[in-house]
Structure 1
Amino acid sequence: MHSLYRLNSRRSLPYCTFNQGLSCLITNVRSNHGSSQRWIARQRSDPYVKHARLESYRCRSAFKLLQLNEKIYGGLFKPGDIVIDCGAAPGSWCQVASSLINSNDNNSNNQGLIIAFDLLNFAQLPGVSIHSGIDLNNWSECINLINQSISNHFINNNNRQLQDIQKLLPAVDVVLSDIAPNVTGIRDIDIPAMMKLAYNILRVTISVSKQGASFVIKLFESPEAEEFKQTVSQFYTFNSSKYSSFTRFIKPAASRKRII
């Protein structure tokens, strides 16, 4: 499931508030059991796989983010945003975000930045700072790399001095996480592994997000996910009349049927 957070004001960490509420996007988890032939057949018949090829997206998951962005009031992205993509390989979410924040336009006066993390290596994308071989459970390393990348971005694009940049941190507008551990099909293994990632990514998000920032994270449907939502509510409070509830669960059309 993915969760969207919009920060309104910032107290001493880790306490923050939202101005437009929180939304959770339920995505689906495919078990690693079953025939590879069935998987190949499904890929061949999947309309989103075909559309991804036609539109030059690296993966069908691009359409989940596009659909989520359409469902969220005001959208997730704006030109010039700084975006963190956790579990970014092969890069389809980076492709979607870069087109919306101008990170791939070197001539833009409002050029955004994407900072991507994954254990795997993947091909470079314009406007994306890729950090491969990074374990997102090592949250302190991630925070340092994010702040370094942002500092370099400001220096290169705004001719700012390092001491001035420190005053602008935290500076992240959107944190995305489509990451999931390798699925075994065993609940007592998969759910704890997922929740460990979720809490560590939340620690990173709280540390690097500025006021008005958004947070989208994938979780497996489970009671533990509900507990995570309650934990998040300790960091963020709902104070907007634009949403009828603090949390929404959304299943985009591009999500596959949940197996485990």
Structure 2
Amino acid sequence: MSGNKKKGGSTPRGGLHVRVKTAKKRSISSTRWLQRQLNDPYVRRAQAEGYRSRAAYKLIELDEKFSFLKKARAVVDLGITPGGWSQVVRKTNPRAQVAGIDLLACEPIDGVTILEMDFMDDTAPDALIEALGTRPDLVLSDMAANTVGHPQTDHLRTIALAETAADFAVQNLQPGGSFVAKVFAGGADRELLTLLKRHFTTVKHAKPPASRKGSPELYVIAQGFKEAVAKGD
């Protein structure tokens, strides 16, 4: 784990460049994606260190900067599949209990209860709290809507998921808890930020080095949940 390294120390070094030939049944875009994956140092590092996806390093790098994992004892992972974020939680803090949810199936992870269902289902919030056995002190969301290729639409759909995740956090977090969620750059997150700034002591944006340079994704990190404000709603 790279938590003890200096800032920026978790960025892996590149290796030999791999070229991928376009097969008859493979499109040019698929060939480019495969070549990018094969040459991605985060992908290679994830394979070497046993993480299920390169996204694990986004959480590692965010935690290096904001330190929200080691003190967490009850964690909800929204959009858990394939499980890289929950793996990081359990490796960083083996005492933490985790409940995750996703529409897609996720292979079992020690210490993690996984619900295969839609987080937008009305029964999902209660199911998560029941699975966790207590209110969370950390809510993580790496959820993103399936992209349609239209930046503004993709941004709005992902912000809607982040707002739903934030509402869940506000309704269920323990005092002092934290919320970390993916958003897309685009300027439509004003309502989300207003909600978070009202309910948390600090709210900041960050783009971890593991996020691809061309990606519009950012992460919002809200810390110091103020329960008294939530009860007054």
Superposed CA offset, 1:56-86 (max 9, x none): 10001111111111011xx112366110001
User: Which position in structure 1 is the counterpart of 2:159?
Assistant: 195
Q: Is the 8 A contact 2:108 2:114 kept in 1?
A: yes
**RMSD of aligned alpha carbons:** 2.0
- The aligned residue for residue 141 of structure 1 is 123
* Deviation of 1:131 (Å): 0.4
CA apart distance, 1:253: 1.2
CA deviation after TM superposition for structure 1 residue 44, in Å: 0.7
Q: Deviations over 1:68-119 (max 9, x none)?
A: 11011xx1123661100011100000100011221xxxxxxxx321101111
C-alpha displacement at 1:188, in angstroms?
4.4
C-alpha distance in structure 1 between counterparts of 2:160 and 2:195, whole Å = 13
1:70 maps to what in 2?
A: 64
Contact 1:118 1:131 in 2 (8 A): yes
Deviation at 1:192, TM superposition (A): 2.6
Tell me the equivalent position of 1:118: 102
Residues 126 and 259 of structure 1: CA distance in aligned 2, closer, same or farther (over 3 Å): closer
Report the 3-state secondary structure (helix = DSSP H, G, I; strand = E; otherwise coil) of the residue aligned with 1:83: strand
Q: Partner of 1:174 in structure 2?
A: 138
Equivalent residue in structure 1 for 2:174, among 210, 232, 254: 210
CA distance in 2, matches of 1:189, 1:211: 34
SS in 2 for 1:206: helix
Tell whether 2:84 aligns with 1:92.
yes
User: Counterpart of 1:215 in 2: which secondary structure?
Assistant: strand
Question: Any idea what the Cα deviations from partners look like across 1:212-248, whole Å, max 9, x if unmatched?
Answer: 1110000011111244212322333x3xxxxxxx443
Amino acid paired to 1:249: H
2:183 and 2:28 map into 1 onto residues whose CA distance is 22
Q: Normalized against structure 2, the TM-score is what?
A: 0.75
Look up the SS of the partner of 1:95 in the other structure.
Answer: helix
TM-score, with length taken from structure 1: 0.68
Query: Percent identity over the alignment?
Result: 32
Tell me which residue corresponds to 1:9: none
Q: Which moved more, 1:58-67 or 1:221-230?
A: 221-230
Q: Which residues of structure 2 form unaligned runs of 5+?
A: 1-26, 217-233
Distance 2:81 2:87 in 1: 11
CA gap of 1:114–1:186, structure 2 versus 1, over 3 A, is same
Q: Deviations over 1:132-189 (max 9, x none)?
A: 1x22223x422211221133xxxxxxxxxxxxxxxxx5x2111000110000111343
Question: 1:259, 1:34 → 2: CA distance?
Answer: 20
Contact 2:98 2:132 in 1 (8 A): no
Structure 1 unaligned residues grouped into runs of 5+: 1-32, 103-110, 152-168, 239-245
Number of equivalent positions: 190
TM superposition shift of 1:194: 1.4
Matched AA of 1:85: D
Where does 1:1-260 land on structure 2 (aligned, <5 Å)? 35-72=29-66, 75-78=67-70, 81-102=73-94, 111-132=95-116, 134-138=117-121, 140-151=122-133, 171-236=135-200, 238=201, 246-259=202-215
SS at match of 1:175: strand
